[in-house]
Amino acid sequence: MVARAMRCLYADLDGTLLGPGASLLRGADGGFALEGVRALQACWRAGVEVVLYSGRKQSSVFEAARLIGSSSYIFELGCGLVLDGELEWLTSGIVPSTERGTIFEQITESGAPALLLERYCGRLEYHTPWSIGREVSHLFRGWVDLAEVSEVLSGAGLEWLRLVDNGVVREHAGRMPEVPIVHAYHLVPAAASKARAVARHMQARGYSAGECVAVGDSREDLETAEAVRTFWLVANALEQDPTLERELGRLSGVRVASETYGAGVYEAVVSTLAEERGRARA
């Protein structure tokens, strides 16, 4: 992959650009921090588009994108892409309809959420209040074996769905004492992913892989390494879930930031831009 001048940064929100409490202006220690804003400013000055990609529902990512002045964003773990105001579903034909309702309602009707909640009672529950009002994914918290869940879904004839790990949610660990690390999980159409949505945005914009960088904090975010030049994992991701380290050797082009949250995003941006200037001088 030929490295070219960066044209786009794909940035996750919770646990990445946003610090504790989902605040853009809070660092790892809870103090006031501007590094996330400085990362956005550095992108603006360099002419780099910033695209937010998140597991959040569309209305939430829309507001975040509006606040930073971005015209495109990816929501519900890559199920939807909004490009300059135009919505495209990336769920391979599973779309909202008058007859069948929203994709969320179609997943409910399939019986998959009830199946998983019953099978993993005490280890899986809805991630309230963020699980409410969603258009596509059913959002849970807990701890389960994803390979086992895949077999459970397949055995029930629900291969068109998959459960996705979107990172650690420490603030709810006390509610599930039998669970060692509480993760956020999304039940989504199997064809949807952040990586696919990133690749689709790149295609629409005419960006090459060598012109794009992504940053995030979860296993699902890591998969975008397949689509871009470099994927940066913020330091707090490994602090919260050390098992992620086993995933790093599986993908090429992955770098681990020495900083956390917004400061890690800033590190990714300024390191990339500095390396590009170094290549240009050489």
Q: Please tell me whether residues 139 and 161 are part of one structural domain.
A: yes
Q: Please tell me whether residues 126 and 181 are part of one structural domain.
A: yes
Q: Please tell me whether residues 181 and 209 are part of one structural domain.
A: no
Q: Please tell me whether residues 209 and 247 are part of one structural domain.
A: yes
Q: What is the mean pLDDT of residues 58-81?
A: 97
pTM: 0.93
Q: What are the structure tokens assigned to 99, written together?
A: 């007859």
- The Cα–Cα gap between 39 and 161 comes to 35
> Which among 10, 2, 1, 4 has a CA at the least distance from the CA of 197?
10
124-126 and 138-142 strand pairing: antiparallel
> What does the pLDDT look like over 4-20, one tens digit per residue?
899 999 999 999 999 99
**Residue 1, domain member (yes or no):** no
**Residue 97, domain member (yes or no):** no
Q: What are the structure tokens assigned to 127, written together?
A: 């991630």
Q: Are 230 and 2 in contact (CB under 8 A)?
A: no
Taking the CA of residue 41 as centre, how many other CA atoms within 13 Å lie in the half-sphere pointing to its CB? Answer: 7
> What does the pLDDT look like over 20-40, one tens digit per residue?
999 999 999 999 999 999 999
The residue from 159, 189, 219 where one domain ends is: 189
Q: Say yes or no to pLDDT of 130 above 60.
A: yes
Range in 117-131, 138-152, 173-187 with the lowest mean pLDDT: 173-187
Q: What are the structure tokens assigned to 215, written together?
A: 């940053």
> What does the pLDDT look like over 242-268, one tens digit per residue?
989 988 888 889 999 999 999 999 999
Q: How confident is the model at residue 174 (pLDDT cuts 50, 70, 90)?
A: low
CATH of the domain at 68: 3.40.50.1000
Q: Please tell me whether residues 66 and 113 are part of one structural domain.
A: no
> Which among 21, 53, 56, 220 has a CA at the least distance from the CA of 133?
56
**Residue 96, domain member (yes or no):** no
Q: Please tell me whether residues 71 and 115 are part of one structural domain.
A: no
pLDDT reported for residue 105: 97
Range of the domain at 214: 8-90+193-281
